[in-house]
Chains A and B, each alone.
Chain A
Amino acid sequence: QKEVEQNSGPLSVPEGAIASLNCTYSDRGSQSFFWYRQYSGKSPELIMSIYSNGDKEDGRFTAQLNKASQYVSLLIRDSQPSDSATYLCAVNSNTNAGKSTFGDGTTLTVKP
């Protein structure tokens, strides 16, 4: 089992829809969770961090964390074509010296 698993994708949604990206992790002791966006050929860019159970909203983005279920998700409301990218879930894992372990990413395409 991989330490951080994401929907394999790709995920395609129409413009204006809600995109839902999911991530599960295996280290129950993890305390810090992140979502990065990576455009094709570019470097990852941090878009959300979440540390406590519940929801955290930032503009059109909402991160949700459920530590009991070891699950973190990212919702993108009113999806735009410019949201088309690969989204990487990262978890600070004690099994990786407390550093970020990344999932393989989910590629999102928003169709006009």
Chain B
Amino acid sequence: IAGITQAPTSQILAAGRRMTLRCTQDMRHNAMYWYRQDLGLGLRLIHYSNTAGTTGKGEVPDGYSVSRANTDDFPLTLASAVPSQTSVYFCASSQGTDTGELFFGEGSRLTVL
């Protein structure tokens, strides 16, 4: 089934540890995104990539990094996790770079203690 796969589904992490959330899509979409969703704050864009080899910063990029080595994969790395990064993280993709018609993965729930 075509779509976006995220891993892990859920993770508890000690503060200060490094963590990479994985995201893979098989729809050959050009653009990919990482959002975090927090109660009362909605979905906020962390980083995006318009095409393989390029990345950009969203609304809340601090403490996160991304890479886009190929079309399908867009991992999100927390170099040194802090409790404020406890959230649900959604990876998304879109056919075009400005369409805004996003397809979301199932999410990764991260708890930083």
List A residues at the B interface (Cβ < 8 Å): 32, 34, 36, 42-46, 49, 88, 90, 92, 96-105
Q: Is the CB of B101 within 8 A of A96?
A: no
Q: How many residues of B contact A (CB 8 A)?
A: 25
Distance to closest chain A CB from B47 (angstroms): 10
Separation of A90 and B101 alpha carbons in the complex (Å): 10
Instruction: Assess whether B102 is interfacial by the CB under 8 Å rule.
Output: yes
Q: Is the CB of A92 within 8 A of B106?
A: no
Instruction: Assess whether B63 is interfacial by the CB under 8 Å rule.
Output: no
Q: Is the CB of B104 within 8 A of A104?
A: no
Q: Is the CB of A34 within 8 A of B100?
A: yes
Q: Is the CB of A88 within 8 A of B107?
A: no
Known contacts A32-B98, A43-B90, A44-B90; decide if A101 and B104 are in contact (CB<8 Å).
no
21 pairs from A and B in contact (CB 8 Å cutoff): A32-B98, A32-B100, A36-B102, A43-B104, A43-B105, A43-B107, A44-B43, A44-B102, A46-B101, A46-B103, A49-B101, A88-B42, A97-B48, A98-B97, A100-B45, A100-B102, A101-B59, A102-B43, A102-B44, A103-B42, A104-B41
Q: Is the CB of A99 within 8 A of B42?
A: no
Distance to closest chain B CB from A2 (angstroms): 9
Known contacts A43-B107, A45-B104, A49-B100; decide if A97 and B58 are in contact (CB<8 Å).
yes
Scan B85-109; emit 1 where CB is below 8 A from any A CB, else 0. 0000010000001111111111100
List the A residue with the shortest CB-CB distance to B57: A97
Separation of A31 and B77 alpha carbons in the complex (Å): 32
